[in-house]
Amino acid sequence: MASLQLIDDVALDRRIFLPDDQTWLIGRGRECDVRLRDSSISREHARIVVESGLYYLEDLDSRNGTFLNEAPVHAAVPLYDGDVLRISRFAFTFRSDGDGLAETFDDESTMIAPQAGEPADGFSTEEFVARMSVAETSIAEPAPDGAETGIDRQLRVILQLLHDVKSTHDLDVSLPLILGAACELFPQCENAQIAVVRSDGRIVTRAVKRGADQAAAVFEVIDRADSIPASVVRSGEFVSLLGSDARRHAMFGDDVQCLVCVPIVSTGGCVRGALSLEGRTSPTSACEAQRPLLEGVASVVAGAIEASDALANQRELEKDRRQLRMARVIQQRMLPSEPPEIAGYSVAHAYQPAHGVGGDYFDYYPLQDNRWVLIIADVCGKGLSASLSAAQLAAEFRHCMELSRSVKAALRRLNQFFFATEVLVTLQFAVLDPRGHTLSIANAGHPAPLRRRGKTGSVTRVAAQRSGLPLGIDADEQYHLTNIRIKPNDSLLFYTDGATDAFNRQGELFGWKLLQAALADGAGGAAEQIELIRDRLNAHQLGREPTDDTCLVCLQRTAE
C-alpha cells in the first residue's frame, strides 16, 4: 500500500496510507481526506487518484499551486517512490510500498496542523533566526514594554516574505517583494538593487528600489563590467564600502554613507547575482554588522531565481512533450498501418524510433497498371526535427508520384525539393511488377537491400548498377534503375542503418553480417522473417537504449 510520509520540519512523524481503491482529496476543507490547516491552502487543493494500480497527482486549480519535486503541477502526473509533494509549507515523501511503522488514525480524515508555538502561516526559519541572532545586538533598538522588538519585527517580515515569495514563480512579482522587505528589515536603507546573471552569462540589473517609500521597478539593463554587483558576482565575496568609496559606486545620489553588496548563491553553490543596499546613516549600524541578515535575504532571492528557472524549465518540457505528442500522431498517420495485399506476394514491416518519433520513413504506393512502388528513407537527424522532415517527405513523395510520368522524374522532383529545403535524405525507391515478377530499384545513397534466395537460403546484397547521391546534395543528380527478377520464395529486405548500427553493451555493432545471418535463418514468410530480425536486434541491444531509428520492410514472393 502506498503512503505519504510528512517530512519532519515541525517535529512531526506521520505516515498516511493511501488505499488503492479510492481518490484522496487534499486541502483545508472538512471534506478532505488529508486536511492541512493553513490559510494559504485551498479548501480543495489537490488530489491523488489511482488508475490501473498507478498513483497520479492532480492540482485542483489551487490558489498557490501544488509542487512535485519542486516543479509546479499543471496536469495529472504519475507518482514514483521517493517523489516529494509540496503544498504550501507542508512537504511529503511518496512511498509506493507503504512499508515501515506508521501512525494510525480512527477518524475518516487526517488533519495536519501547526504545533504549539509554530507560526501558522510561515516556513522553516532556523537559518534566518541563526543569522539574525548574530546581528541582533547592533540592529535591535530598546522598545517599551509590549512593543515589537527588533528581532520580532525581523522575524515577522521574513516569515511574511517567505510566504509571499513561495506563492509566485514570477521574478517581476517576487523581486519587488524582496526589495520592499529589505528596506523594512534595514530602516537605514535608502536604495536597493538586485542584479542577476542571465543564461548568456551577462550580468543585468533586474530590479531597483529608490527611496524607502517608493515602489520597486523591474526591468533588465546590462551592468557595467566595473560595477560593484558585477565584481561581487565574479568574486563571490561580500563587499562593504564606506564614505567616499560608497558614494563613488552608489546607484543614486551623493549623500550615501554606506554601500553593502552580497552575492546571491544558489543551493548548488553557483553565484546567480548580487543584492546591494545603500544607506545614509552612520557606517557602524549599516554595514558589516548586518551581513548575516543580508545574506539571509540574498538566499531568498536565490530561491526565487531557482523557482523561476524551474517553472521555465517545466514549461519548456511541457512544450516539448506537446510537440512530441503531435509529431507522434502525425507520424502514426503518415506511416502505413498495414502492409498492402499484392497477389503472389507477402509484405511485412516494422518501425522503431529511437526517441519516440524519428526520421525513418517507408510507404507503399499503387500504380494504375497493378504495379506497386515501395519507398524506404532515412532523413538526416533524429527526434522531433527529423520526424517533421519525414512528414515533409511523405507529403512530397505522393505529390511527386501524382505529377510524374516515371520513377526517374519523381526522384528528380523529390531531390530538387530537398535541395531547396537543405535537408539530406537517403532513399531506396523500388517498383514491383507482380505479373512479370520484376523489381526496379533506384538508390539515393541508401544501404543496398538484401536478397534471400528461396531455393538455397543464401543472402546477398542487391548491388545497384549505379547508386546516386542522397537527396538534397546536388539538384542536378541523375538516378538510374537496377532491374532484378524475383523467383519463388525469394525475399528482399529493405532497411535503414539503425539496424546495422545497433550497439550492444560492449559497444559492438549488430552489423551487416548479423543482419544477413538473421535473414538467412528466416525460413518462414515475410512477417516471420521480420519478427526474427527484430528478436535478434532486441537481444543484441539488451540493456542499452537504441541510438538510431530502425525501419525494416520485407517483400517475399510466395511459392507458385
Residue 116 confidence (pLDDT) above 60 = no
User: What is the mean predicted confidence (pLDDT) over 185-197?
Assistant: 85
The confidence score (pLDDT) of residue 342 equals 94
Instruction: Let me know: does 134 contact 294? Beta carbons within 8 Å.
Output: no
Grid coordinates belonging to 33: 481526506
What is the Cα–Cα distance from 264 to 193, expressed in whole angstroms? 12
Where are the chain's structural domains?
2-96, 153-310, 335-557
The confidence score (pLDDT) of residue 348 equals 95
Instruction: Let me know: does 158 contact 184? Beta carbons within 8 Å.
Output: no
Q: Which of 51-55, 99-103, 448-452 has the lowest mean pLDDT?
A: 99-103
Residue 544 confidence (pLDDT) above 90 = no
DSSP 48-66: EEEETTEEEEEE-S-SS--
Instruction: Let me know: does 171 contact 218? Beta carbons within 8 Å.
Output: yes
487: helix, coil or strand? coil
What is the Cα–Cα distance from 7 to 188, expressed in whole angstroms? 39
Which pTM value belongs to this model?
0.50
346-381 confidence digits (pLDDT tens): 999 998 887 666 678 899 989 888 899 999 988 886
428 alpha-carbon distance from chain centroid: 35
Residue 143 confidence (pLDDT) above 80 = no
153: helix, coil or strand? helix
The confidence score (pLDDT) of residue 465 equals 65
User: What is the mean predicted confidence (pLDDT) over 233-243?
Assistant: 88
- The DSSP bridge partners found for residue 445 are 427
Instruction: Let me know: does 551 contact 500? Beta carbons within 8 Å.
Output: no
Grid coordinates belonging to 216: 520597486
The confidence score (pLDDT) of residue 10 equals 38
What is the Cα–Cα distance from 468 to 524, expressed in whole angstroms? 33
Residue 222 confidence (pLDDT) above 50 = yes
Grid coordinates belonging to 221: 539593463
Cβ-Cβ contacts under 8 Å for 257 (sequence gap 6 or more): 242, 243, 246, 247, 279, 280, 281, 282, 283, 286
Instruction: Let me know: does 94 contact 81? Beta carbons within 8 Å.
Output: yes
Instruction: Let me know: does 4 contact 14? Beta carbons within 8 Å.
Output: no
- For domain 335-557, the CATH superfamily is PPM-type phosphatase domain (3.60.40.10)
User: What is the mean predicted confidence (pLDDT) over 272-280?
Assistant: 88
Best-predicted range by mean pLDDT (28-42, 161-175, 458-472, 483-497): 483-497
Nearest Cα to Cα of residue 252 among 190, 300, 311, 308: 190
What is the Cα–Cα distance from 298 to 271, expressed in whole angstroms? 11
Q: Which of 46-50, 88-92, 215-219, 258-262 has the lowest mean pLDDT?
A: 215-219
User: What is the mean predicted confidence (pLDDT) over 283-306?
Assistant: 76
The confidence score (pLDDT) of residue 117 equals 37
Nearest Cα to Cα of residue 42 among 18, 55, 58: 58
User: What is the mean predicted confidence (pLDDT) over 182-201?
Assistant: 85
Alpha helices in 14-147 (DSSP H): 126-139
Nearest Cα to Cα of residue 421 among 392, 378, 382, 383: 392
User: Is residue 286 classed exposed, middle or buried when 0-12, 13-18 and 19+ CB atoms within 10 A define those classes?
Assistant: buried
State the pLDDT confidence band at 142, using cuts at 50, 70 and 90.
Answer: very low
The confidence score (pLDDT) of residue 213 equals 64
Alpha helices in 374-489 (DSSP H): 383-403, 407-421
Cβ-Cβ contacts under 8 Å for 204 (sequence gap 6 or more): 195, 196, 198, 220, 221, 222, 223
Residue 125 confidence (pLDDT) above 50 = no
Q: Which of 12-21, 61-70, 167-176 has the lowest mean pLDDT?
A: 12-21
What is the Cα–Cα distance from 83 to 379, expressed in whole angstroms? 39
Residue with cell 535537408: 423
Instruction: Let me know: does 343 contact 434? Beta carbons within 8 Å.
Output: yes
Per DSSP, 548 falls in state: S
Alpha helices in 112-198 (DSSP H): 126-139, 150-166, 171-185
User: What is the mean predicted confidence (pLDDT) over 451-456?
Assistant: 92
| 153-310 placed in CATH 3.30.450.40 | yes
State the pLDDT confidence band at 548, using cuts at 50, 70 and 90.
Answer: confident
What is the Cα–Cα distance from 475 to 492, expressed in whole angstroms? 30
The rounded percent of the chain whose pLDDT value lies above 90 is 23
Residue 134 confidence (pLDDT) above 60 = no
Cβ-Cβ contacts under 8 Å for 320 (sequence gap 6 or more): 384
The mean of the pLDDT values for the chain is 80
Give the other-Cβ count within 10 Å of 237's Cβ: 11
Instruction: Let me know: does 204 contact 176? Beta carbons within 8 Å.
Output: no
State the pLDDT confidence band at 325, using cuts at 50, 70 and 90.
Answer: confident
Residue with cell 492540482: 59
User: What is the mean predicted confidence (pLDDT) over 133-158?
Assistant: 52
State the pLDDT confidence band at 148, using cuts at 50, 70 and 90.
Answer: low
Residue 123 confidence (pLDDT) above 80 = no
Q: Which of 130-144, 306-320, 456-470, 496-510 has the lowest mean pLDDT?
A: 130-144
The confidence score (pLDDT) of residue 121 equals 35
The confidence score (pLDDT) of residue 103 equals 36
The confidence score (pLDDT) of residue 287 equals 53
66-100 confidence digits (pLDDT tens): 999 888 888 888 888 888 899 988 888 888 764 43
Pick the CATH number of 2-96 from 2.40.50.140, 3.90.79.10, 2.60.200.20, 3.30.110.30: 2.60.200.20
Cβ-Cβ contacts under 8 Å for 477 (sequence gap 6 or more): 415, 444, 468, 469
Nearest Cα to Cα of residue 310 among 495, 69, 94: 69
What is the Cα–Cα distance from 412 to 471, expressed in whole angstroms? 9
Best-predicted range by mean pLDDT (95-104, 432-441, 460-469): 432-441
